[in-house]
Amino acid sequence: MSKKTIVWFRQDLRVADNPALNEAAERGDVLPILIVDETDQDMALRGTARAVWLHHSLLALDKKLGGHLQVFAGDPEQILLAVAAENGADAVFWNRCYTPHRIIADKQIKQFLSERDLAARSFNGSLLWEPWQVLKKDKTPYKVFTPFYKKGCLSAQAPRATVAAPSDISFVGEASDQSMIDGLELLPRHDWAAKMMADWQPGEQGAREAWAQFADNGLMGYKNGRNFPAKANVSRLSPHLAFGEISPHQIWAALEHQPQNEDVAHFRSELAWREFSAYLLYHFPTLPFENFNSKFDQMPWQIDQTALEKWQRGQTGIPIVDAGMRELWQTGYMHNRVRMIVASFLTKNLGVDWREGAKWFEHCLVDADYANNRASWQWVAGSGADAAPYFRVFNPVLQAEKFDPLGAYIRTFVPEIAELPNKFLGKPFEAPAQVLADAGLELGIAYPHPIVDLKQSRNRALAAYQTMRGQDMVEPA
């Protein structure tokens, strides 16, 4: 009699390079399942952009699995036990997750299953290097990216080889329709997501096409072009990586077939930043909600709900900030350079706690990876590991002039100021009355006045940091 294995899908919604699936297929019959566990931070999806993505990604995965994917919502322990008993399965395989909640839960589930004579095995399907394998000579974790990557990762064992999709999978039971996926009710009752999803193709095939598009059209010139939001030098692979529709191992291996130049090297380092975020969260599990640098516990964050809501809606009166926040709301995505700009504006110009920004991003982003998001917000705020210096306050006007010089990005998402000349597009509040009139723009009516003075708010931020640190602040030359 063939052995039956449950393959528990989580952040690995693909068939190729899926170690758990491959091991199960070699062992015997396969029963693929996914469980939405709302007690898990990574699966608390209701009402978010990620929930919409997950719905479509599950449809794509189910199609790849010939309609055999079963989906559930609830307690994983009880669901796994019940499914195993109902189908005569004697093992449960899954690919590891690295958030604190899942590490604890997975250990408990392994013990729970083992005590009931069910084999439980986990595999690495989502990280190039296991977090416990990359340590300093004194066996402590790295806190700075460059030595983590160059001394830790690149000198460690090379990432594992990719594995092809199983050539033939023998499934347990009969195929079913998509009603189980619909039953999860991941889609909103009011279809606000239709426009957002128009430019995305969730699923493994969509991930492959996104990689091919980037490799052909965006990788060359990536190192510099990635900073310009109107250029095509971004991969848009982040949601596919977040849901495991493509593995970092597949991308790492594909890069070996590209010309080995500064663009490829820089893209590899960006993959390593993803690793670094997961690594930090593994070794420092309070990272998502506590300041990595405890000095920031004394930071006098402002409580300004009105300002926060204007930032969320893209109504700050600062065009590059508003363009980014509107791109986020409309598309479920934001260009990485702009993410830094809007985060700096919220935490430094508005003085709002970085955790508020992190929560909004997790609500709106289709690629909201818990580790990446929280580590990145701390980095910009200055409280994180290897963080941007406390005195680094992005000037959004200068950022717009440097990285959106022709205004293509701002005009796309802030069309009400599109008729302004490039000189004033990033700073309509400095435009002469006649220039505003010629553009048909009345500030305070069609587009808001700035909700904060950039220079004054920057000085307030520096003063707050100085007070927090208890010493004089010296800016870099």
The residues annotated with a catalytic role in the active site are 270, 273, 301, 336, 354, 377
442 sits in which H/E element: none
Bridge partners of 443, per DSSP, are: 447
Pull the structure tokens for residue 263: 């663009």
102 — phi, psi (to 5°)? -75, -35
Q: Which residues contact 73 (CB under 8 A, 6 or more apart)?
A: 35, 36, 37, 38, 184
Bridge partners of 8, per DSSP, are: 33, 94
Q: How far is CA 235 from CA 103, 225, 246, 269, 309, in A?
A: 30, 11, 13, 14, 30
The answer to whether the beta carbons of residues 29 and 88 sit under 8 Å apart is no
Q: Which residues contact 221 (CB under 8 A, 6 or more apart)?
A: 231, 233, 263
Angle (CA) 443-449-454 rounded to 5° is: 140
Residue with tokens 């392994």: 110
The answer to whether the beta carbons of residues 7 and 21 sit under 8 Å apart is yes
Strand 28-36 relative to strand 70-73, pairing? parallel
